[in-house]
Amino acid sequence: MAIDYRTDYQAPPLDFALLAENPVEQFLSWFQEAETAGLPEPNAMTVATVSSDGEPSARMLLLKSADSRGFTFYTNYGSAKASDLDSTSRASLVFFWQPMHRQVRVNGAVTRVPREESAEYFATRPRDAQIGAWASRQSSVLGSREQLEQQVAAIEARFAGREIAVPDYWGGYRLVPDRVEFWQGQPSRLHDRALYVVEHGMWTKARLSP
Ligand SMILES: Cc1cc2nc3c(=O)[nH]c(=O)nc-3n(C[C@H](O)[C@H](O)[C@H](O)COP(=O)(O)O)c2cc1C
């Protein structure tokens, strides 16, 4: 089957003079615009990792915070992605905000967030999500859906009437960016691209060819 969509991207061009000095600030400004525009789950992002033997892998995750410390997301520390992140300490994030014809790519070094911070965030999650985190050995093979449901029932029984603490195999990762690219779709495929690169703590910006 041939796949043939011919979107001609239309949007105001990227005004380099208006770009923030710091890419996290620029990200937050675009993120707020995506929220204001009512985009569903603007915090959904592709997270690409690579294993110690060079096998790439990408999947969607939800961004939970972005600030001067970096980009934070939560997952199972026993998962395939965690194994990649723990062995290579690198990841690449991609956001695509289609109605705005915008893409953001972020590369950087990744570390686990401190235990207390993961526990604090876990405590804010709905109880069902907390039970799900306990019940799932993410990325491992399951015999059946029933097996998962039995695991959920066992966790519900174990914590009945009690608060649910964060499992030691669940928590956050934080990516500290060293390369961030903002892409603004433009007519005739002549898109605008702004690349931020950090060197000795200083960010520089360059315009890339589309
Ligand atoms: C929109 C969306 C958001 C998701 N958010 C998360 C998330 O925040 N954390 C997570 O562990 N998995 C999340 N998932 C599931 C992952 O894509 C993936 O299936 C899972 O983390 C296992 O990945 P792995 O086997 O590569 O480790 C999300 C999936 C989708 C489609």
Alpha carbon nearest to ligand 1 atom 4, residue: 61
Distance CA 121, CA 63 (A): 13
203: CATH: 2.30.110.10
Rg of the chain, C-alpha, whole Å: 20
Alpha carbon nearest to ligand 1 atom 5, residue: 61
Domain membership of residue 143 (yes or no) is: no
Contact call for residues 65 and 72 (beta carbons, < 8 A): yes
Q: Interior CA angle at 11 toward 8 and 16, to 5°?
A: 125
Split at pLDDT 50, 70, 90, the class of 160 is very high
Domain membership of residue 137 (yes or no) is: no
Burial class (CB in 10 A: 0-12, 13-18, 19+), 208: exposed
Atom of ligand 1 nearest to the CA of 49: 26
Mean pLDDT to the nearest integer, 178-201: 95
Distance CA 181, CA 197 (A): 9
For the chain, how many structural domains are there in total?
1
Domain membership of residue 106 (yes or no) is: yes
45 three-class SS: strand
Q: For residue 169, what are its two tokens?
A: 């195999």
Contacts of 118 (CB under 8 A, 6+ apart): 74, 166, 170, 171, 172
Q: For residue 62, what are its two tokens?
A: 């939800």
Q: Which of 112, 145, 189, 207 is catalytic?
A: 189
Domain membership of residue 40 (yes or no) is: yes
Alpha carbon nearest to ligand 1 atom 22, residue: 139
Atom of ligand 1 nearest to the CA of 76: 11
189 has catalytic annotation = yes
Domain membership of residue 161 (yes or no) is: no
* pLDDT for the residue 73: 98
Alpha carbon nearest to ligand 1 atom 19, residue: 59
Mean pLDDT to the nearest integer, 65-87: 98
- Centre of ligand 1 from the C-alpha of residue 59, in Å: 6
> Is the model's pLDDT at 47 over the cut of 90?
yes
Mean pLDDT to the nearest integer, 161-182: 97
Among 43, 46, 61, 175, residue to substitute to test ligand 1 (most atoms within 8 Å of Cβ): 61
99 three-class SS: helix
Contact call for residues 88 and 48 (beta carbons, < 8 A): no
Domain membership of residue 5 (yes or no) is: no
pTM, entire model: 0.96
Domain membership of residue 68 (yes or no) is: yes
- Centre of ligand 1 from the C-alpha of residue 126, in Å: 17
**Which tens digits make up the pLDDT trace of 77-129?**
999 999 999 999 999 999 999 999 999 999 999 999 999 999 999 999 999 99
Domain membership of residue 32 (yes or no) is: yes
22: left (phi over 0), alpha (psi -120 to 50) or beta: beta
How many percent of the chain have pLDDT more than 90?
A: 94
Residue span of the structural domain in which 199 resides? 16-125+168-208
